[in-house]
Structures are given as C-alpha cells and as structure tokens.
Amino acid sequence: MLSVSFSPEDLTMVVTDYNTNIQSVTIAIYHWPTSIKFSLP
C-alpha cells in the first residue's frame, strides 16, 4: 500500500490504495474550492 500526498498552495494530490500487483490505483485531486476525484483501475 502506497500513500502519497502532494500539497502545493491550493492544490492537493493524494494517491492511495496502490496495490503491489498494480491492480487498482486511486488518484484524488482536490482543487479548492472545486474538488475532483477519479480512480484508475
């Protein structure tokens, strides 16, 4: 499991749920005040 958080001024990129077999990768991008969330299987 890999947890990576990238936080510039107003942008937060969080990458979690990274399987060792690379089966599911969840990338969540939060852009204040707009939040966008998407996942890559």
Q: Which of 29, 27, 26, 34 is nearest to 7 (CA)?
A: 29
| pLDDT score of 39 | 54
Condensed to tens digits (0 to 9), the pLDDT of residues 4-40 reads 555 554 444 444 444 444 444 444 444 444 444 555 5
Q: What pLDDT sits at residue 25?
A: 45
Say what the pLDDT of residue 36 is: 47
CA dihedral (37, 38, 39, 40) positive or negative:
negative
- Is-cis flag, bond preceding 33, omega within 30? yes
Q: Provide the pLDDT for residue 7.
A: 52
- Model pTM score: 0.15
| The pLDDT of residue 4 | 53
